[in-house]
Amino acid sequence: MMYDEIVRIHYFHEVERRRDLNSSLTLPLGVLTALFAAIAAMLGSVSIPLDQVEKILLTLCSFSALAGGVAISYALRAVIGYTYRHPTSMGSLAQWREKALAEGISSYRVDEDIQRIMADQYAKGAEKNSTNNDRKSGYIHTTGIWVAICLALVILSGLPYVYSRMMAAPTSAPAVGAE
């Protein structure tokens, strides 16, 4: 395999990797949406004045929401602020080729130069895109960690929530015999 083929394959691998990384955020963001809905439902049961169990519930839900917010911030860092490099436009390359041919340079030599230029463009693009994708991957990994922390805190928050719901449930009166 020639050098120009290798860098072109690497360049397109990084383009595909970018697409895969961006789509890998779908599940964590969906889970976060469900977790925030659960937090909202649990907080909807809190009434003023707070008893001890509701204070614990409020504290745990606050930490859950904070962990979810941190996860969202890392997800945003994984998506926003990346400039990806692309090879030179074919229009400017075609103009350069026509100009070189008009100056009497052989078409074989011009085409070799174009192949070298494109290999250089693909190599630079692959390097820049690889660096971006590595950073993006790190932020996505950290997003997953914070989603897991948020999930654990929401589950922990469920304990005082269930306890408070059980204590608030009306007790049923004993059945009265039929007369």
Q: Mean of the pLDDT values across residues 72-92? A: 84
For the record, the structure tokens of 22 come out as 């961006």
Q: Tokens 């269930």 correspond to what residue?
A: 162
Query: pLDDT (tens digit, 9 = 90+) per residue, 97-150?
Result: 888 888 888 888 888 888 888 888 888 888 998 998 999 999 999 999 999 999
Closest CA to 75 of 150, 165, 1: 150
Q: Rounded mean pLDDT of 37-42?
A: 91
Residue 136: strand, helix, or coil: helix
Is residue 29 within a helix (H) or strand (E), and if so which, with residue range?
A: helix 26-43
Task: Write out the two tokens for 145.
Answer: 């960690």
Q: What are phi and psi of 177, to 5 degrees?
A: -65, 150
Q: Return mean pLDDT, the chain.
A: 86
User: Higher pLDDT residue, 94 or 175?
Assistant: 94
In this predicted structure, the answer to whether residue 23 has a pLDDT above a threshold of 60 is: yes
Q: Given CA atoms 73, 78, 79, 85 in this order, what sign does their dihedral have?
A: positive
Q: Answer whether residue 173 shows pLDDT above 60.
A: no
| Three-class SS state of 30 | helix
**pLDDT at res. 49:** 83
Q: What is the pLDDT of residue 139?
A: 95
